[in-house]
Chains A and B, each alone.
Chain A
């Protein structure tokens, strides 16, 4: 782990701490164990699959989940922003759980969103749950974003040309490990040299096992799970993770 890869700012090393750095098409990306990517060179913080207002989407059909999921997700985002002080915050799609979600955001949620946007650029990439720009989110809405050697999009697509890499969401990867008679299931990043799929950040977002064929199909060879822990991520080869079902 090379702390100086983190960036040029003096206290960057301290901030990075034990944060794992992965190289993707030449870009040095720090993996925050909360489930975000910090790209120091671009001063960009990248997250995926917030699924805001998933709770109220369930409530609308009679399942009264606690209505705090959006607040919890936005509070986590606020902590990440506080920690990394990004110039740009990019959300890789499915930021809202459904088309009506923007309108259901409550006053506290809207205030939290406004606070996030103060002093930085917000970029909302379109996802399959939120294909249309939602005015309640503020910021810029894009189908995808090209930044340096990386393309940032919701669903992983064709691998970009040689020398380029991809950051994506959509799949909500989780890793399952079995050790000493205990099963552990955690959100994780999944990546190889060309592509990194981020874990979902939403409080109510479920997960898909990284051994699931749909996820495995994204990686032609070996790939790694960067499993989120309390203070750092752990690199576990995909074959050391245990498949779930299906």
Chain B
């Protein structure tokens, strides 16, 4: 199918009689975009529908299938329509919503769901005797496709509905789905697709998803239907008379105002950015909850059953408010939500719009939302976000190619389905949008990896998982390979989570059946705690006791002030688009009128004492304070990129013998501190700032740091698990873990020093560049500021530096070598021992 402009004329469509009657009986009329989509489907076109919430998007997506199935006579039974959603819960909910019109119209249609929760017996039966419409998730599609009966199951497929496509595309789960779609098109060449999406900055990518790419450099697109937008949102920033905090994310100053809003509405969703913020805000709200309002908590680390209970209570309208993270960005429509409060900075305009859309699902009434900045910089960010929403501006997506680790998983799955010729599978894979530019060399490297690990030292030929037979086709070497594949399907690597179990204080470390499971935390968070440390989780302050097998044992504590300050679960960096908005506002004092007076005053002081960061240049301040020397710069590139920059700058300053001690950062600024006078070094010509910030830091310095970077190792681990190099860890298989599971860190070290170009290291590198290390953004920034460094030596801290300076002591100090910490521990123990003797 060739691309077509959205405005291209489509033939008029007549809705069958019983559909018309059904609409009439409900007092509805089919919406133009629903009919438009139907007409395009009947003309054989695949189409992307962009529509706001409440616009009847789901019905639009299914209408072509329902009409076709209603009119079918003597058609062979079999799977007709596949619906794929990022959330299991959504698939189940949509199935329910679909069954009603089907039943009311008396359509002879079987609708079923298939998720990880579906009983094995039903899953078996679904393969033998599939329903007309199957609602499922990307992982289930991968599993179904990796079996020999896939051609039988999918051969007659007519339509695929992809829900919330914007949430899947551009991530590894999307890569897996795109590869599955490519296989489905091959099994069912007649199949058409319908993509359903919220508004995105660049619909072209999603339109390319819907059709097979020809693989010759030309790009093909599905049709586009854009529903009229709903009423513009009614969105404001909370104006607080309280003193605005300089730093922090708790928004304690606005607590009473938030509570008052919750009390005044039917149901409010209170969004925050991290699980920690959710925990803290939830606690604080209950402290002042004099009306005993039913306020609940929801985030990704809480126990699933607890989350389901909250969702059910929400659906029944029993809750007044839910404090939540991005765990509720997507999900089932709750008609009763009439206000969204976003606490903290929105971080991106697209995410903010998605969240605002969770309030009010009636198209003709505005969604209502309030932004609550938690500190001064966040005021600027909220202001920029308000302007972005008013302009309907979406964040641009980061361009990325399909991940090679996901491709490796898929290639093994395809071998499990049946023998394949490498060239055929390559052609199939490059028809998938994320892999359209994949070279044959990379494909071959992935294939070699799947077979024997793909190492230059070809030591494992005799252990190959897939082998080439005499006819040149690849097939699995033995049935265990298929079993391994099934255990490893999916791109969500959850194994670094540990269950948190409540035990009673005083119970020994072996008391494991005592208390209930509160949820899960990241293993790396627990690694930073010692027994006795306190932290907030599941709405209460807990004391960390021990890790027993794969569980974190905690007990309740009387402490009210948690010792461990934060964990970053779900922290998003500031988007490039909003960052530009903040920079523009800083550089335009004439616009400060629209800001709270405290903030305008603060910026005015900065102009007086130092300088304002320009739109395009990089402001660098250096000053002494309390015996230390500071370098503060303001890249506004988000904390991930700043963290990488901090690591690299510290290395370089160390080499220049300027004795750096550490650094801290936030989304806006980076502070490096040390023992040598940096201002003086610049004046004396011993330090050239242009050289310090030169992009060549992304060469050797980055390389040296990556050898030991915990973030890089974590990224590698994810790739290794997805690609099937490291086995997933399963509860119950941990007992003999020392012998059975392999530390991915050890594998990383060995691979990196012996085969640095290995395909899996390249996959990890690609992830890190846009993920935890955000190297691509750092590299763009370094290029932008080249020759535009604005250095201001000061005799004291500047007003703008204060928020970032306050992070010192609050966050764990980065950049210090582990050896320094070991030496410190040793020295402290020696001191203790010596003092005790006196």
Q: Is A147 an interface residue (CB 8 A)?
A: no
| Interface assignment of B195: CB less than 8 Å from any CB of chain A | no
A64-B465 in contact given A56-B460, A180-B821, A234-B822 (Cβ < 8 Å): yes
- Answer yes or no: B683 CB below 8 A from chain A CBs: no
Is A68 touching B549 in the complex (CB atoms < 8 A)?
A: no
Does B99 sit at the interface, judged by CB under 8 A? no
8 Å CB interface, A214-246 against B: 227, 229-231, 234-237, 240, 242-246
Residues of B at the A interface (CB closer than 8 Å) are 449, 452-455, 457, 459-460, 463, 465, 480-481, 484, 524, 527-531, 546-550, 564, 725-727, 738-739, 741-743, 746-747, 749-751, 753-755, 758, 811-813, 816-819, 821-826, 829
Determine whether the beta carbon of A182 is less than 8 Å from that of B528. Answer: yes
Which single residue of chain B is at the shortest CB-CB distance from A60?
Answer: B463
- Give 15 new A-B contacts, CB below 8 A, not counting A106-B457, A181-B813: A59-B459, A62-B480, A64-B452, A66-B751, A68-B455, A68-B753, A72-B754, A106-B459, A180-B812, A182-B812, A184-B818, A203-B746, A234-B826, A243-B531, A243-B546
* Alpha-carbon distance between A63 and B811 when the two chains are bound, in angstroms: 39
Question: Is A179's CB under 8 angstroms from B481's CB?
Answer: no
Q: Which of A62, A180, A181, A237 contacts B829 (CB 8 A)?
A: A237
Residues of A within 8 A of B819 (CB): 229-231
A190 CB–B CB distance under 8 Å: no
Contact of A69 among B750, B811, B816, B817 (CB under 8 A): B750
Q: Is A204 an interface residue (CB 8 A)?
A: yes
18 contacts between A and B (CB under 8 A): A63-B727, A64-B453, A64-B454, A66-B453, A66-B750, A72-B753, A106-B457, A177-B825, A179-B821, A181-B812, A182-B812, A184-B821, A204-B750, A206-B739, A206-B742, A207-B738, A245-B546, A245-B548
Q: Is A1 an interface residue (CB 8 A)?
A: no
Q: Which of A149-195 contact B (CB under 8 A)?
A: 172, 176-186
CA distance A185 to B816 in the complex (A): 15
Chain A residues near B449 (CB-CB < 8 A): 64
A204-B742 contact in complex given A60-B463, A67-B457, C-beta closer than 8 Å: yes
Chain B residue at minimal CB-CB distance from A242 = B530
Alpha-carbon distance A206/B746, docked complex (angstroms): 8
Cβ–Cβ contact B750 & A72, under 8 A: yes
Contact flag A66-B547 (CB < 8 Å), given A204-B747, A227-B822? no
Q: Report chain B residues within 8 Å CB of A245.
A: 546-550
User: Taking the nearest CB of chain A, how far is it from the CB of B750, in angstroms?
Assistant: 5
Contact indicator A62/B818 (Cβ below 8 Å): no
Given contacts A178-B529, A179-B824, A181-B812, contact A64 B747 (CB under 8 A): no
The answer to whether A177 touches B822, judged by C-beta atoms less than 8 angstroms apart, is: yes
Kindly list chain A residues whose C-beta atoms are within 8 Å of the C-beta of B817: 230
Which chain B residues lie closer than 8 Å to A235 at the CB level? Answer: 826, 829
Asked whether B453 lies within 8 Å of A65 as measured between CB atoms, the reply is yes
Closest to B737 in A: A206
The CA-CA distance from A237 to B104 in the complex, in Å, is: 74
Option from A67, A69, A177, A186 in Cβ contact (under 8 Å) with B460: A67
Q: Cβ of A236 and Cβ of B822 under 8 Å apart?
A: yes
Q: Chain A residues with Cβ under 8 A from B527's Cβ?
A: 176, 178, 183, 185
Give the interface of A toward B (CB within 8 A): 56, 58-69, 71-72, 106, 172, 176-186, 203-208, 227, 229-231, 234-237, 240, 242-246
Contacts of B453 in A (CB 8 A): 59, 64-67
Complex contact B811–A181 (CB within 8 A): yes
| A-B interface, 10 closest residue pairs, ranked by CB to CB distance from nearest | A181-B812, A64-B453, A183-B527, A245-B547, A68-B754, A67-B459, A234-B822, A179-B821, A66-B751, A59-B463
A155: shortest Cβ distance to chain B, in Å? Answer: 15
| B residues less than 8 Å from A179 (CB atoms) | 821, 824-825
Residue on B with the closest CB to A228?
Answer: B822
Distance from A18 Cβ to chain B, minimum over Cβ atoms (Å) = 11
Instruction: Give the Cβ gap from A228 to chain B, nearest Cβ, in Å.
Output: 9
From A65, A229, A240, B747 is in contact (CB under 8 Å) with A65
List of A residues within 8 angstroms of B548 by Cβ = 245-246
Q: How far is the CB of A77 from chain B (nearest CB, A)?
A: 15
A5 to chain B, nearest CB (A): 20
Report A191 CB to chain B, min CB distance, Å. Answer: 16
Q: Is the CB of A178 within 8 A of B530?
A: yes
Do residues B825 and A64 form an inter-chain contact, with CB atoms below 8 A? no
**A205: chain B residues within 8 A (beta carbon):** 746
The distance from the CB of A17 to the nearest CB of chain B, in whole angstroms, is: 15
Q: Which of B746, B821, B822 has the most chain A CB within a 10 Å cutoff? A: B822
Chain B residues near A72 (CB, 8 Å)? 750, 753-754
Q: B510's closest neighbor in chain A, by CB?
A: A246
Q: Is the CB of A66 within 8 A of B747?
A: yes
User: In the complex the two chains form, is A180's CB within 8 Å of B549's CB?
Assistant: no
Q: How far is the CA of A204 from the CA of B725 in the complex (A)?
A: 14
CB-based nearest A residue for B745: A185
With a cutoff of 8 Å between Cβ atoms, the chain B residues found around residue A67 in the complex are: 453, 455, 457, 459-460
Instruction: State how many angstroms separate the Cβ of B772 from the closest Cβ of chain A.
Output: 16
B825 touches A234 (CB 8 A): yes
A185 to B812, CA, bound (A): 17
Tell me, in angstroms, the Cα distance from A106 to B531 when the chains sit together: 46
- Are A206 and B738 in contact, with the CB atoms below 8 A? yes
Interface centre among A65, A178, A244 (most CB of B within 10 A): A65
What residues of A have a CB within 8 angstroms of the CB of B753 in the complex? 68, 72
Closest to A71 in B: B754
Who on chain B is nearest to A245 by CB?
B547
| A96 and B754 alpha carbons, distance in the complex (Å) | 21
Contact of B750 among A68, A206, A227 (CB under 8 A): A68
Task: Indicate the member of B465, B527, B529, B813 with the most A CB atoms within 10 Å.
Answer: B527
B822 to A64, Cβ gap below 8 A?
no
Given known A184-B821, A204-B742, A236-B829, contact A66–B528 (CB-CB < 8 A): no
B452 surroundings in chain A (CB, below 8 A):
59, 64
- Residues from chain A with a CB closer than 8 A to the CB of B749 are 203
Nearest CB of chain B from residue A153's CB, rounded to whole Å: 20
> Taking CB as reference atom, which chain A residue is nearest B662?
A180
**Bound Cα distance from A59 to B829, whole angstroms:** 44
- Shortest C-beta distance, B765 to chain A (Å), equals 16
Q: Which residues of A contact B460 (CB under 8 A)?
A: 56, 59, 64, 67
Q: Is the CB of B755 within 8 A of A63?
A: no
Give the complex CA separation of A204 and B747 in angstroms: 7
Q: Bound state CA distance, A235 and B753, in angstroms?
A: 29
Q: Measured between alpha carbons, how far is A65 from B738 in the docked complex, in Å?
A: 16
B281 nearest CB across to chain A (Å): 22
